[in-house]
Amino acid sequence: MRLVINVYHHGDRLILDHITTIIQEVRHMAVDLTRIKKEIGELQADSKAIRAAIEKGVKALDAIKAKLDALAGGNDAPTQAELEALSSQVDAVSTELQAGSQEISDAADRDNIDTVALPDGKVGEAYVATIDVPDPAAITGIIQSGALPDGLTLVLEEITGTPTVAGDSSFVLWHIDDQSRHVGPATNYTISVKQ
């Protein structure tokens, strides 16, 4: 009788372990789904911002063209003030187009993200990993999407802490310069924490 009970309890433990594994996988899927939703939102926001920058640049160019047409159609030569105003408009459009170009470049960089696997961690054990900084102008990094494993933090280019939950995590890191601009490519990092 005792042998049957031990086998029955052993079978329950296997079922419980299997259910625990399934729950962890569902949690990871929920985290991945949240990350994917956020990335879709970011792509939609990027698309809107790029479209707005292009539309603004086109409107400004149309205004400059209208001004040039008016100056060309007149009998008098343009005044110094008219030329300076036109020059200011051209400078403003140039600045807007450069900003739009940077947004397009940033969006393209986000689509070409390399993945780097960082060293595995273990629940309850101290963890340290160093991130390679791709550009000397970078002064900090920000997590654009995803998250570090529970218990870990990012300070400059170092990830430290003690993982508290087993599982796989990924996050996209942008390197930022002192002008709050993205420098170097974004990188997707992955960390696997073992039990």
Beta bridge partners of 174: 142
Residue 180, sorted as left (phi over 0), alpha (psi -120 to 50) or beta, turns out to be: left
Answer yes or no: is pLDDT of 116 > 70: yes
Q: How many Cβ atoms sit within 10 Å of the Cβ of residue 134? A: 14
95/29 same-domain check:
yes
Residues 33 and 68 in one domain: yes
Same domain for 77 and 151? Answer: no
Tell me what percent of the residues of the chain surpass a pLDDT of 70: 70
Over residues 8-36, mean pLDDT: 70
Claim to verify: residue 19 and residue 30 sit in the same structural domain = yes
Nearest of 163, 134, 136 to residue 147 by alpha carbon:
163
Q: What is the pLDDT of residues 75-84, one digit of tens each?
A: 666 677 777 7
Same domain? For 126 and 166 the reply is yes
**Are 63 and 107 in the same domain?**
yes
**Which of 112, 138, 167 represents a domain boundary (last residue)?**
112
Lowest mean pLDDT among 5-14, 32-41, 122-131, 185-194: 5-14
Cβ neighbours of residue 179 under 8 Å, at least 6 residues apart? none
Count of the separate structural domains present in the chain:
2
Residues 89 and 176 in one domain: no
Decide: 144 and 109 in contact? Cβ < 8 Å.
Answer: no
Q: What is the mean pLDDT of the chain?
A: 76
Residue ending a domain, among 67, 82, 112, is: 112
CA atoms in the 13 A half-sphere facing the CB of 91: 6
Asked if pLDDT for residue 9 goes beyond 60, the answer is: no
At residue 152, the pLDDT reads 95
Decide if 158 contacts 189 (C-beta within 8 A).
no
Nearest to 191 by CA among 135, 134, 151, 156: 151
Residue 184 belongs to domain spanning? 113-194
pLDDT in the model for residue 180: 76
Instruction: Name residue 122's beta-bridge partners.
Output: 194
The pLDDT value recorded for residue 119 is 95
Is residue 187 predicted with pLDDT exceeding 80? yes
CA nearest 173: which of 113, 87, 89? 113
- Confidence (pTM): 0.45
Q: Give CA–CA dist 35/158, Å, rounded.
A: 23
Q: Which CATH number characterizes residue 117's domain?
A: 2.60.40.10
55-64 average pLDDT score: 75
88 and 45 share one domain: yes
Task: Identify which has the larger pLDDT, 154 or 53.
Answer: 154
